[in-house]
Amino acid sequence: QSVLTQPPSVSGAPGQRVTISCTGISSNIGAGYDVHWYQQFPGTSPKLLIYGNNNRPSGVPDRFSGSKSGTSASLAITGLQAEDEADYYCQSYDRTTDGSGVFGGGTKLTVL
Amino acid sequence: QVQLQESGPRLVKPSQTLSLKCTVSGVPISSTTYDWSWIRQPAGKGLEWIGRIFSSGRTGYNPSLKSRAAISVDTSNNQFSLRLNSVTAADTALYFCARGDFWSGYTFWGPGILVTVSS
């Protein structure tokens, strides 16, 4: 059981917009900790996609955006492309365990 | 450029101790205030945070591991290590080391090392 809750899968056609939710509680996302998002392809390390709730590292297309409100966060992908098919994970921290890291269970994005 | 590389035995017997090292290049591990973490991923499953060590030596662990994990740092070799004792088949996973902080996330990751727990 992951501490943060994500839908197991989402899908969309090329060009469409999809969102992936990440739900926490008052001791993690709701405590004010930043939410980060990672993209992972099979057999590779996760890659940082969004940091600090809504910031993109250099090289990440602006089709990817993040937001946070209350105890939840979301990742939005616009103009869906076939190469976006991957697993996506949200990550934050939890104050009940002295700021230990917590991950969502991951969401498999399928581009139809 | 910061690079991380995991190393260690890829096969561990049940009830024994899993020991992994992460060698860091491109930045002195002792001169920064980053969070040096271990994260694992069982085959076909999601990411699980194991624990971290700060360059100050302060550590933190996932409570679900019930105190089986210990992370240490070796500044002379620019490495940090993970020891996980009393392993079972449930500890079979791809183990990653990563560098991060609260505000920037885990920016740098090692390629991962697959550790299998089996007799």
| Interchain contact, B47 vs A57, CB within 8 Å | no
Per-residue pLDDT tens over the stretch A62-105: 999 999 999 999 999 999 999 999 999 999 999 988 889 999 99
pLDDT at A11: 97
Per-residue pLDDT tens over the stretch A4-63: 999 999 999 999 999 999 999 999 999 999 999 999 999 999 999 999 999 999 999 999
Chosen for mutation from A1, A50, A75, A100 (greatest number of chain B CBs closer than 10 Å) is: A100
B17 interfacial to chain A (CB closer than 8 Å): no
| Interchain contact, A38 vs B37, CB within 8 Å | no
CA distances from A22 to A26, A62, B17, B48, B63 (A): 13, 20, 34, 16, 21
CB pairs under 8 A between A and B: 71
Rounded CA-CA distance B62/A33 in Å is 17
A102 interfacial to chain B (CB closer than 8 Å): yes
Per-residue pLDDT tens over the stretch B22-58: 999 999 998 777 899 999 999 999 999 999 998 888 8
| Interchain contact, A45 vs B111, CB within 8 Å | yes
pLDDT at B30: 86
pLDDT at B55: 82
Let me know how many helices (H) and strands (E) chain A has, helices first: 0, 9
